[in-house]
Amino acid sequence: MTVLPVVTHALLVVIAATVGFVWGLSEIVAAFKTETGRALRTGGAWLLIFVNSVAAGGVYLFAATAVTGLDNWHSAVLIGLSWPIILRNLNIKVAQPIQPPQAPEEAHAREAAAIRFEQMYAGFQDLARQLINASLTRQRMALVNKAIELDLAALEKQARLLIATAPLQGGAEATQYVDQVLQRPDVEDIKKALLAAFIMNNFSRSALEDWVAQHKSQKRKASIP
């Protein structure tokens, strides 16, 4: 194997890792289309991106060390792009008896004795997805808690204003829903929580976030003598 200067080799690893980084980023964008920006600000997203990046760099490093002729930027980019495919089709058989399996159960047991990287990666993706979803939901519920501190009449007014200005989002059915919320024999905080969740889920999280911030600052100004 040709010994490359360390800097060049490191640069090629960085190229592969960058491609892995972009790949991880694209997975987040595809999975969280409506909340991409917020999803990217969670720990779970960075964990996924980091692992994608390290795995792409690692696979390239391993391949370039084992196979001659891979020490160029084309190979680094290609391996950076294709490492998930390589990994997903890779498995290590823990045991492989020489005799063929006698029964389907035995074949299944042998399959179970193989370490399937595809399953490991899918499990890891699932963990990252759960972490991101939990973070986003916690953020949304914190916002609902903030909205509960405001007046019910103000929340109702905002909900009706949004329905009137965005007729494609529900229209008459949405108006009827707001009426039903207000007529329920629930305590006021539950009505507020439902209205806040209604605004956030049927319009946007920013619609509620901006309004809560604006309303609070107005209240603060009004309270200053």
Partner 1 sequence: MMQRNAARDVLEAQALLEIAKSLDPLERRILLSLRQRGPGLAMEIAVRVYKFPDDIRQPLLNLRDRQLVRSEGFSGSAFGDELISLTARGEQVASLLASGAVPETPPAPAEETSKQAGAREITPAAVLQREAELLQKLGELAAQQGDAKAASDYYRQALDLLRKIGAASSAASGDT
Q: What does the binding site for partner 1 look like in residue numbers (CB under 8 A)?
A: 32, 34-35, 130, 133-134, 136-138, 140-141, 144-145, 170, 173-174, 176-177, 180, 184, 193-194, 197-198, 200-202
* Residue 8 or 201 having the CB closest to partner 1: 201
* Residue 127 or 213 having the CB closest to partner 1: 127
Residue 53: CB minimum distance to partner 1, A? 25
Q: Are the C-beta atoms of residues 220 and 212 closer than 8 Å to each other? A: no
* Residue 65 or 201 having the CB closest to partner 1: 201
Paired strand residues for 116: 91
Residue 218: CB minimum distance to partner 1, A? 25
* Residue 138 or 157 having the CB closest to partner 1: 138
Whole-angstrom distance, CA of residue 173 vs CA of residue 180: 10
Residue 182: CB minimum distance to partner 1, A? 13
Per-residue tokens: 220: 């603060």
Using CA atoms, how far residue 49 sits from 12, 33, 35, 61, 93, in Å, is 19, 16, 17, 18, 28
Per-residue tokens: 97: 């008896």
- Concatenating the DSSP letter of every residue in 183-206 gives HSSS-HHHHHHHHHHHHHHHT-HH
Q: Report how many helices (DSSP H) and strands (DSSP E) the chain contains, helices first.
A: 10, 2
* Residue 17 or 143 having the CB closest to partner 1: 143
Residue 133: CB minimum distance to partner 1, A? 5
Q: Are the C-beta atoms of residues 96 and 126 closer than 8 Å to each other? A: no
Residue 110: CB minimum distance to partner 1, A? 19
